[in-house]
Structure 1
Amino acid sequence: MFKTADGDTLELAPWRMRRLMRLVAEMRRYPPGTPPQALVHDLRLIIGRARRVSTQHRLGTARFESAGACCKACLLARQRQGGMELVGLSLTAPWQGGHVYEGFAPELEDEIERSGRVTKLRWHKFDSLAAATRDPVNASGPGVYILANGLVPKYVGLSKTLETRMKAHRWCAAVHHRSAAISVWVARVTRVEDLPAVEHAIIRLLKESLNNVALRNTVLKAGKGGLRIENVIPEQFLKRASYLKGSNLLDMKASQTLEFEWLE
């Protein structure tokens, strides 16, 4: 737990604390091997000088600003039962001539809870959008899809009617003369209510190369029923999702957060 200058107590989930420590290390250009105690000290100093600047009662969030420590910081906290939880931190250089920073200041991330148990996704690859529109069996009904440039995934989406969505993408790609460069992976999803969870999981696993804006920076948190998806991404993309460790099974218990960047 951390105390702010106004006396608010902010709690941090272990995975988020490690993430924020890495952010501090990158901003201050700590050399490899710096003991974690040094990072915790700086993080505690940043939060200890933070003062509340706004409160969104409807959303249950509060924004804090900290200056005069090792950098300027903007913090976002959410009201939880019994206190406040720090859910985001953005750092910037405090003044010209101060510490040397790399300007690493990611957007503050929110969380969405999702539950579901999805039996094995059966991925089908099409070498073109035109080929996908001609398959009435594998590219129809509710499902998710990945548009790729070669073996580099670029966009993830969902649709209750894949056949309609593939035709729309084909038309758009043709207008921009991009049809020949796009390949497609498609997987049908039996229950429409599971579509958001499957799409979100794929986006978070492959986000480094995706052009998606929505959900890319939104943390996926398993709901009360947990979240299990078999064969969650095509085998060709497994190396891009270190969280899965090559198993291609996403199995999250209730309240577990999908943060593949923080594997121990």
Structure 2
Amino acid sequence: MKTSLINTVWFSEKRKNVLLLLYEGERDIEQIKKSLNVTSRSIMPQIKTLKHNNLIKQEQDQFSLTTIGKTIVKSMLPFLCTSRIVEENKDFWASRNFDAIPPHLFSNIRKLGHYFLIEPDINHLFELPREFIENIPKSKHVTTFVSYLHPAFPSLYSEASLSGVKISLFVSEKALEKIKKEYFEQFNELMKITNITVFLCKENPKIPMVTVTDWFSYICLFNKEGRYDHRDIISFDESALSWCQDLFEHYRINSQKLCQITEVE
């Protein structure tokens, strides 16, 4: 009975791992065994199956992917990367609200790469996360969107800008109203600093905060109940920085630059 390519590729972890390994480059059997921590007895039947299905080829003692094999593995990688993102923190992803992320970007969520889930510290729940505060001064430029304004934001960004950090700050209409009522003078002083630019985002995306710099990206999402539970994502991967920059380009289209803020009477 014929075995489908789907069964050949997905129904054996060993076969899948051989394909992924050979996608990086050709290997001999000893290199395959060492990389995958397997024995000849366990891996040779899988290699034989892959050869039989024209997914890998052997030239002397070297194994490599065929053209078909390369095409299939290239198609596998996005699914595997996305699966890894979700598998690492299933409960977190299952409980998030993704309305603020455009479909074309959400389909590329795998670009977050190797990320860290920041869990809330009950003793510092209402403070800006340490991981966020420590990495802002290390950056050369910072782009942030906020739909709420943490009390520590103005001073943190003011200090960073005085150190030469270039800052673009996008605020929602709700955040702007809070600024006018509670941080009017402080924020207008912030806007006088030449390397800080403030934008009003008219789209008002349902997201607490997202930040991208040349150094790291930091993403906060509401849960499905519409609450911010202080579980955040930080990533230092280049692909994650690029993904967040694309998200800001989406927000920028519906934003306008603010030159000053008028106080609520």
* TM-score (structure 2 length as normaliser): 0.24
Tell which structure's C-alpha radius of gyration is larger. 2
Structure ranking higher on relative contact order (CA contacts 8 Å, 6+ apart): 2
Give 1 or 2: higher strand fraction. Answer: 1
* TM-score (structure 1 length as normaliser): 0.24
